Amino acid sequence: MKKSSIRGNFTGRENARKRAAKKRRKQREAKRRKLLRQQKRIQQPTKKKVVKLLRSIDWSLIPVIGKWIFQIALTILIAFVCVWYFGQRVSVVGDSMKPVLENGDIVLANRIVYNASKPKRGDVIIFKPKGNENSHYYIKRIIALPGESVEIVENSVYINGEKLQEDYETSKIDDVGIVNEKVKLGSDEYFVLGDDRQNSEDSRNANVGNVKYSYIYGKAWFVISPKTHFGFVKE
């Protein structure tokens, strides 16, 4: 009787555990089904809304919208190129280019022109002397080109032995600086002078010297300020 009673109690407890485990499984399964039903209820309206939204779209407008986007992007690109290559502002320091440019004038630099062609005699260029990044920009006129020889004799400039004929207004050269004898330019060097040669720090000065092509920032092409000087830079 004792053994039977123990065996019966054990069997009863085992059955109770099985029933409890089964009940818990049923509860978990019921929760899972409930969650799935809730998710379906959420998804169904969303799908309906998406379908409704897609049906409401006028797909014939897509090419028109695409064209607008392309035009806007192209306009932004052109504006960027114009500003970056033609609209970089540089302040004139000093009156060395007077009367063409005066101290405080704001000019625009054409940065792309010398990618397509080489600088020409008479161009008004923007550069940093000796390529010194800590210096302000200088604005001077190209007088001699690479490979040419330059000489200053009795207030006149001679290129390869011939007197330079200049169509722009200049002042006399009182100081020849380092150009006290004929100067031969390298294959990438330019000789520059200010138009007001009595008040210009240019290739006659040792701290400027000949301007290498790599030192040139761009060509001064337009004056935007002040209003009294507004217009193209005279060459």
**By three-state DSSP, how is residue 179 classified?**
coil
| pLDDT, mean of residues 64-86 | 72
| Residue, of 33 and 209, whose pLDDT is higher | 209
Instruction: Tell me whether residue 1 is exposed, middle or buried, using C-beta atoms within 10 angstroms of its C-beta: 0 to 12, 13 to 18, 19 or more.
Output: exposed
Query: What does the DSSP 8-state code read for residue 3?
Result: H
208 vs 178: CA distance, rounded Å = 10
Tokens coding 134: 């800590």
Higher pLDDT, 60 or 219: 219
Q: Which of 38-42, 58-62, 83-87, 210-214 has the highest mean pLDDT?
A: 210-214
Compare 14 and 223 and report the one with higher pLDDT: 223
Greatest C-alpha distance within the chain: 143
* SS3 call for 94: coil
Please tell me the distance from the alpha carbon of residue 119 to that of residue 152, in angstroms, as a whole number.
Answer: 22
The backbone torsions φ and ψ at residue 149, rounded to the nearest 5 degrees and listed phi first, read -110, 145
For residues 218 and 113, is the Cβ–Cβ distance under 8 A?
yes
SS3 115: helix
The residue annotated as part of the active site, out of 31, 34, 96, 227, is 96
- The helix (run of H) or strand (run of E) holding residue 67 is helix 62-86
Q: Which two tokens stand for residue 7?
A: 């065996």
Query: DSSP string covering 14-63, please?
Result: HHHHHHHHHHHHHHHHHHHHHHHHHHHHHHHHHHHHHHHHHHHS-GGGHH
Other CB atoms within 10 A of residue 128 CB? 17
The rounded distance, in Å, linking the Cα atoms of 145 and 134 is 26
Quote the pLDDT of residue 52: 73
Mean pLDDT value of segment 10-32: 75
pLDDT band at 79 (very low <50, low <70, confident <90, very high): low
Q: Express as a percent the part of the chain with pLDDT over 90.
A: 53
Q: Which amino acid is at 106?
A: I
pLDDT for 161 = 93
Judge whether 40 counts as a catalytic residue. Answer: no
CA distance 170 to 138: 18
Reply yes or no on whether 227 is catalytic: no
Band of residue 2 on the pLDDT scale cut at 50, 70, 90: very low
31 C-beta neighbours (distance < 10 Å), count: 10
Q: Which of 4, 40, 91, 140 is catalytic?
A: 140
Residue 144 has pLDDT above 90, yes or no: yes
